[in-house]
Amino acid sequence: MQCSYLHVIRLCSTASRRYSTTTRPAQPADDFLWFPRFFDLVEQHALLSAALRKLDAAEPRVSRRRRRDFLASRRQDHQPKVIGDPVVENAFLPDDLYHFEEGHYDGVIRRFREMRISTWDDEKDPVLKSALSRLETLYPDASRTQTHLLHLASDGEIHPHVDNVGASGSWILGVSLGSERTLRMESVEDDVDGIPKHTFDVSLSSGSVYIQKNSVRYNYKHSIPYVSSTLGERVSHDQRVSIMIRVRIRLQFYVFNGIGDLRFPTLKDCLPPTVSQNEVPQVIHGYKNTQ
Ligand SMILES: O=C(O)CCC(=O)C(=O)O
Ligand SMILES: [Fe+2]
């Protein structure tokens, strides 16, 4: 499949709060990558159905029973469609049939379900299998990764944060499935008046993939606002699932922190991190099960 590869769009200086379509060199351009149409509809359906199956299976039995009852008496317009349906959001059931949490323990995410997964059970699904292999070709390096699923409710949102620097390494990849949302990136470094020095917005349509790494991963906060960031107006969203893939942190970190997961060190493990500790911002957010 043809894969378009673009850098950041709409970089803006928030000091003036005016958006600009020109790109200024606020960060090394290669540290944010955006693939707006990486997965086709068939692949999106395969990924979204697999993600929803995982998330659904982890919910309390009472939620699963409610969904089963709903599906048994479903009206035609709420019926999840088969693979190939042009509207990928049709894979979602109404919001009230999911057990969305109201707020993350540190207040960063609102109205969501999440889980960490170690396998996809993709052996019987060639579309899913090939989509996941294609995704791996985008990984910035061959280090070990960890995968999380995050399901945002229609009114869910993510406040500005930097992912826990103690829980994952120098790159984060996000696959978006379902309703289109805006990813807002804002530099940790402020102007004198406390406004982020640089911001840019990226449109996360279904099937898109973004990667933030190195300077952007450590020096930019990211958020998915409920309010449309470009118009400042409330827009209605449907649900969205993201598949978040993070590179695992290096061995020496595990050893020093007693987390385990040991492997034999390579020369690379012993080299100093590329980002100096001075540049690493406060830990603002991390997943519960990686804390
Ligand atoms: O859903 C996304 O694209 C971002 C999710 C996120 O920021 C997180 O899980 O830490
Ligand atoms: Fe995050």
Distance of CA 144 to the CA centre of its chain: 18
Is residue 13 scored above 60 in pLDDT? no
Q: What is the mean pLDDT of the chain?
A: 76
pLDDT digits (tens, 9 = 90+) for 91-113: 999 999 999 999 856 689 999 99
Instruction: Determine the length of the chain.
Output: 291
Distance (Å, rounded) from C-alpha 90 to C-alpha 79?
A: 7
Q: Which of 242, 246, 289, 291 to mutate to test the pocket of ligand 1 (most atoms within 8 A of CB)?
A: 242
- Calculate mean pLDDT across residues 154-172: 94
What are the distances in angstroms from CA 226 to CA 52, 78, 136, 151, 152?
Answer: 22, 24, 30, 14, 11
- Percent residues over pLDDT 90 in the chain: 52
Report the greatest alpha carbon distance in the chain.
60
Does residue 242 line the site of ligand 1, with CB under 6 A? yes
Q: What is the mean pLDDT of residues 241-264?
A: 66
Nearest to 53 by CA among 241, 286, 289: 241
The alpha carbons of the chain give a radius of gyration, in whole angstroms, of 19
Percent of the chain with pLDDT over 70: 67
Under 8 Å between Cβ of 250 and 272: no
Mean pLDDT of 218-239: 76
pLDDT tops 60 at residue 90: yes
Average of per-residue pLDDT across 191-207: 86
DSSP string covering 25-88: -SS-GGGEEEETT-S-HHHHHHHHHHHHHHHHHTS-HHHHHHHHHHHHT--GGGSPPPTT-S-G
Give the domains, in start order, of the chain with CATH numbers.
11-290 (2.60.120.590)
Contact 251, 269 (CB under 8 A): yes
Residue 176 alpha carbon, nearest atom of ligand 1: 3
Q: Considering Cα of 12, then 14, then 16, then 17, what sign does the dihedral take?
A: positive
Quote the CA–CA distance of 71 and 30 in Å, as a whole number.
45
CB 185 less than 6 A from any atom of ligand 1:
no
CB 247 within 8 A of CB 168: yes
How remote is the CA of residue 266 from the centroid of ligand 1, in Å? 30
Residue closest to 185 by CA, chosen among 3, 16, 33: 33
pLDDT digits (tens, 9 = 90+) for 205-222: 999 999 999 999 999 999
151 C-beta closer than 6 A to ligand 1: no
Question: Phi, psi (5° rounding) for residue 30?
Answer: -75, -5
Is residue 90 in contact with ligand 1, taking CB distance under 6 Å?
A: no
SS3 content of the chain, % helix, strand, coil (to 5): 25, 30, 45
Measured CA distances, 231 to 55, 76, 152, 206 (Å): 33, 35, 21, 21
The label of the residue with tokens 């479903």 reads: 74
Check pocket membership of 174 for ligand 1, CB cut-off 6 A.
yes
Mean pLDDT value of segment 31-50: 96
> Candidates 150, 171, 203, 291: which one to mutate for ligand 1, based on the most atoms within 8 Å of Cβ?
150
